[in-house]
Amino acid sequence: MFNINKYSIFENCTIAECNSKNTMYLILNTTKLIEIYITCDDFAKKFEQYQLSQGQVVPQEKMSCSEIMAIVIYYHISGMKCFKYYYQSIIKGYLKSY
């Protein structure tokens, strides 16, 4: 049987260490990420309407403004130190389906 120790390293992620294989797993709080995205999306829609009312042109992007904002905000509250590692392993890896 596996002996698993859990360490809550920050509010939105937990590291679970499995002693039998010396492997560590990162458990993400995707509910918090979804909350952040919804808040950012609501803000981005209102801000885009404001930009259009001021006569500004809103550029078309591959990723929406709310997606970019949610990724950056989640990075800051995650406690991770390297954005490149965070983006490549967490966003492109674990959260690719979102």
For residue range 24-57, what is the model confidence (pLDDT) as tens digits?
A: 455 667 888 899 999 999 999 999 999 999 999 8
H/E segment holding residue 74:
helix 65-78
Distance of alpha carbon 69 from alpha carbon 76, whole angstroms: 11
Q: What span, in angstroms and rounded, lies between the C-alpha atoms of 14 and 37?
A: 20
Closest CA to 4 of 55, 38, 14: 14
* Residue where the block lists tokens 């406690």: 79
Instruction: Provide the pLDDT confidence category of residue 21 given band limits of 50, 70 and 90.
Output: low
The residue assigned the tokens 């990075």 is 75
Residue 14 has pLDDT above 80, yes or no: no
Between these two residues, 95 and 86, which has the higher pLDDT value? 86
